[in-house]
Amino acid sequence: MASVSQADDEIITGINVTPLVDVVLVLLVILMVTAGYVTSRALPLDLPHAATGESIPKTLTISIDREGGTFLDGEAISQTDLRQRVRTAVAAQPEARALIAADGRTSHAHVVRVIDLLRRESLTRFSLNVEPTDLLP
């Protein structure tokens, strides 16, 4: 880029807004990326009713920590209470699903116990949450 040399006592007649635009665009991208995470469950809405609307199958989020503790939607839960909540969810919506997120250092037996509990209560649509990584060569 060509630069214009100015003496110290001349009046500045132009303002370079490129850095300002760069900062605003970065902030806009950050806002767009984080907005989906923040508003996914944060906005209480009164949705309109429609005769042709479809319900989304309920998804139970089950987490298993390193020591084998079980959590349902972020709250600690016993095996008997988990069984009851799964039974209630399946009774209310037969297409209910579960997402199992287990710590990588937990015992395999803890994960199998949760899968077995889900299958006993007729919840057969479940998935295991993993952290995606690059494919190995």
User: Is 99 a residue whose pLDDT tops 70?
Assistant: yes
Cα–Cα distance between 93 and 88 in angstroms, integer?
9
Share of the chain above pLDDT 70, in %: 74
What are the residue boundaries of the structural domains of the chain, listed by start? 59-128
59-128 is classed CATH 3.30.420.270: yes
**Could you identify the residue written with the tokens 């939607």?**
73
Residues near 124 by beta carbon (within 8 Å), at least 6 away in sequence: 118
Measured in Å, how far apart are the chain's first and last C-alpha atoms?
Answer: 43
pLDDT in tens, 50-74: 677 666 667 888 999 989 899 998 8
Instruction: Mark residue 92 as left, alpha or beta (left: phi above 0; alpha: psi -120 to 50; beta: remaining).
Output: alpha
pLDDT in tens, 75-93: 899 999 999 999 999 998 8
